[in-house]
Chains A and B, each alone.
Chain A
Amino acid sequence: MQSQLPLYPESASNFAPDVDGLMLFIVAVCIFFAVAISVAVVYFFFRYKRKNADDIGVPIHGDMRLEITWIVLPFFLLMAMFGWGAVIYVDYRHTPADTLDVYVIGKQWMWKLEQPNGRREINELHVPVNRNVRLVMASEDVIHDFAVPAFRVKMDVVPGHYNSMWFRPTKTGRYHFFCSQYCGTSHAIMGGWVTVMEPDEYAAWLAGTSGTSDPVALGAKLYNDLACGTCHTPDGKGRGPSYNGVYGSKVKLADGSTVVADDAYIRESILQPNAKIVAGFQPVMPSFQGLVSEDQILALTAYIKAQKDQPVPGKPAAGEPATGKK
């Protein structure tokens, strides 16, 4: 058990201080009443313990003043809680005019998110700090719920409805988000992370450069991030062809034809992998349409191009035009 014992979540949005202030108020009122009642019960319990087996208590039937007091006084406290809570809720349900809009699709059991420029993510949300963010949410199947405890916000994602929620992150960092409405088998793993970034980092991330300008290095990073290497192993023994020596070579396809592995071929192979299948491989690669931006495709192409002179599996020397490998 290496985990500590946290008692309250981090506070990382504009709503967190509001909600926490109200929470404190209600906790204080409740502790007052819980303690008052417990102390009274325990005190009476000992003070008026029966002494003789046939004793009876003092016949007191009631007291109108007390009844009115404990109806009226709690009423005002309850109305304070109600009013304070309503103010926060109205603020939460009323989205400000100038927001960064992110589209959120919930489906069993993943979150698909799309940034304003079309950049898409799965189970990850990147947002800039101190900027009003609005999530516009729809479901493809059952009811889900997008919840970020550190922001103190959540909202159901209902099929047939568009629900929206907003928040303003106030602290950079990585925060859990959860699906909070039970949605079937893998409900518990339908979550991810919100990454709150400085505005310039976010802009760079959004542009797909992540602060680095070397396309080969960026491509190498993408190769790792998108886990291309789980199939496209350099030795050519994976589920997909090796990248080594592919760029500019002639590639033999499953239908017997041949194609030159140029930029357009590589782009098509990323976005519509099943359009041209390399001989000896199965059409198993998923489309990355919408998951990688045009900039990222360029970077990936640069990376593949850089592998041109690597040793080609099954060939004695590098540099020769290879066949059969993309």
Chain B
Amino acid sequence: MGTLRRRAGAYGLLAPGTIWLVLFFLIPLYFLGRLSLNVNVGGVYYPFDWHWKNYSDALSLYDTQFIRSFVYSLVATLICLVLAYPLAYAIAFKAGKWRHAMLLAVVAPFFTTYLIRTISWVTILSDESPVVEVLQFLHIAPSGQVLATPAAVVSGLVYNYLPFMVLPIYASLERLDTRLLEAAKDLYADTKTTFLKVTLPLSAPGVVAGTLLTFIPATGDYVNAEFLGSSNSQMIGNVIQSLYLKQQEYPAAAALSFVLMAIILIIVLIYIRFAGSEALMGEEGAAI
């Protein structure tokens, strides 16, 4: 009797959220799939006809942007990892009393509007800025321009998604039992061995969560490419957005969106199998 009531209570607590997510997240995905198989006849009404040609057409037309999105996102994710790991490590083990201040600095970008942050990179990377002059002086940017290049788009992605990499890695390092590090030292492991054999493997869940939380949104991003790139650095998000909102080619846009989700879902499932779903759920929650 008591357990029955408790169970009913649990379902009661779950119901509103579950209904909302099913109704406005899962069912819309079904509608996205449905729309992607409609015949595009122009106008508002699109008859449903298992029109798989939408997929082959969309993919052959926009394969460049697709590949570009994954390449940019992968490069940005790797750069984020290289930048985030030392930072997370420094906050967890070296910051001392500055730990809270450093964490605050990591989340500070979240406090300013995403679009304005990205626009400020237009200033930083514009032709007259000191940053670009230094790059020109070092012959890193020989063309004399950074803005409107793939490098600018990738740097925008790195900047915008870096906190998503830092926080999960920090959370996993912070939870690390420091007695294990002492044990390694007692067993005569040098700093490098301790790091490679103890610290790094134990922070792996954080790295997995961080790479996912960076890679997924970066692949679908189109704001960075829109503001910092040119027509030669358009990502798949730009195409989807333009097909939906400007050209109203809904079936083709839906097909592209569906393929993007399918590929990302496959990657996520492989990752979750490999790391456990708690890595994604727990780490991030602990970090925020």
Query: Are chains A and B native binding partners rather than an unrelated pairing?
Result: no
